[in-house]
């Protein structure tokens, strides 16, 4: 395989897979959608990436045609303000395929498997949520994340208490208030609400409280973290390494949670993870995608893998029919794929079956 190659074409593929039942999370969803970036080269090596919303493949191709995909930083710099995490991830996939190594080994490799936690989105009554938690425990999961979206904090706490009573000390419980962007309906947490929640959750031995305040509320997070013992997590919508640095310096987050696509790709996320390590903080990726799974094998200060799973309405992307070898959980752990690059291959028949209409070309 030659070490000098050129980017020839860049492709975006949108897929839309019907859900077994409608799912409500702020809005009603009946399909699961994913956008894929393919970066093709003159050497016959194609890189796969997770595309972000609004990605324009034709524009990216105009900017990067003829570039060497092995020079990731220089190639991404050539995109200027229209940088794409999907392209960056695809370039890493190419590098791994050329080196015949999975990406996590190229980044230093610290593990080959990691503990998964079931990340649920639906809001269930206390008895039903407890039943589901016990069912997941029996499947081998020993950690679960529950949402705090109810109009009354007391109702959220009743659910957490019911789950704790049902699973005892055999299962870790994480919580997510999802206050980082726009409140769900009329619900909005103040600093005082977040403090009350954190203290109550601590008594229930919850592992962390995620996104209790708006993501830009630096001072609020600092005051919250300073006033409670509960670890505060956040950062799933952060788009720059500089913002992670700012929040780590403020002391507002005990755990940073970059989303690989929102954060700009593999290298920016890896840089944020090492910033957190320098501050003796954890980095636990949000919405783990194909690229994120490789990063989990190279981030020593990461303890868990977010497994988005709330069937029949929500099925994690790793179990969709898009992959030839779907990534599964065994005994509560996920194996880091060991194949070259991302360690995955796409199911071409499924791509054809579920392909959605292409977006309008960029002019």
Domains of the chain with CATH codes: 7-101+345-354 (3.30.390.10), 106-335 (3.20.20.120)
Long-range contacts at 16-24 (CB < 8 A, ≥ 24 apart): 16/354, 16/356, 17/320, 17/321, 17/354, 19/312, 19/313, 19/314, 19/315, 20/311, 20/312, 20/313, 20/315, 21/312, 21/313, 22/313, 23/121, 23/122, 23/310, 23/313, 23/314, 24/122
**Mean pLDDT, residues 88-116:** 97
List, for residues 351-361, the tens digit of each pLDDT value: 999 998 765 54
Instruction: Give the pLDDT of residue 200.
Output: 98
> Rounded to two decimals, what is the model's pTM?
0.92
Instruction: Give the pLDDT of residue 363.
Output: 40
Return the bridge partners of 143, or none.
Answer: 172
Q: What percent of the chain has pLDDT over 70?
A: 91
Q: Does residue 265 have a pLDDT over 90?
A: yes
């Amino acid at each position: 395989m030659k070490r000098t190659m050129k980017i020839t074409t860049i492709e975006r593929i949108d897929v839309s897979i019907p859900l077994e039942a409608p799912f409500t999370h702020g809005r009603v969803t009946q399909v699961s959608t994913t956008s894929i970036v393919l970066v093709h080269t003159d050497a016959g090596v194609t890189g796969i990436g997770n595309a972000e919303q609004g990605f324009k493949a034709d524009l990216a191709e105009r900017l990067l045609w003829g570039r060497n995909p092995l020079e990731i930083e220089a190639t991404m710099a050539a995109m200027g303000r229209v940088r794409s995490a999907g392209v960056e991830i695809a370039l890493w996939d190419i590098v791994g395929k050329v080196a015949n190594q999975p990406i996590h080994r190229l980044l230093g490799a610290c593990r080959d498997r990691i503990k998964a936690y079931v990340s649920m989105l639906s809001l269930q009554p206390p008895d039903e949520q407890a039943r589901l938690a016990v069912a997941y425990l029996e499947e081998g999961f020993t950690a679960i994340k529950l949402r705090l979206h109810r109009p009354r904090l007391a109702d959220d706490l009743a659910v957490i208490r019911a789950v704790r009573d049902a699973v005892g000390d055999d299962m870790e419980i994480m919580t997510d208030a999802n206050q980082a962007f726009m409140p769900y309906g009329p619900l909005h947490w103040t600093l005082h609400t977040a403090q009350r929640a954190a203290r109550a959750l601590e008594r229930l031995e919850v592992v962390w409280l995620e996104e209790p305040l708006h993501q830009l509320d630096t001072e609020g997070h600092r005051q919250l973290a300073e006033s409670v013992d509960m670890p505060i997590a956040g950062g799933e919508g952060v788009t720059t390494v500089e913002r992670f640095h700012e929040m780590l310096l403020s002391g507002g987050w005990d755990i940073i949670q970059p989303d690989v696509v929102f954060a700009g790709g593999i290298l920016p996320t890896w840089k944020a993870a090492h910033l957190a390590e320098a501050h003796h903080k954890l980095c636990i990726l949000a919405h783990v995608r194909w690229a994120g799974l490789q990063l989990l094998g190279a981030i020593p200060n990461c303890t868990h893998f977010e497994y988005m799973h709330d069937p029949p309405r929500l099925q994690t992307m790793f179990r969709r029919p898009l992959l030839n070898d779907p990534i599964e959980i065994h005994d509560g752990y996920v194996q880091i794929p060991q194949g070259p690059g991302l360690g995955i291959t796409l199911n071409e028949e499924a791509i054809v079956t579920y392909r959605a209409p292409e977006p309008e070309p960029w002019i």
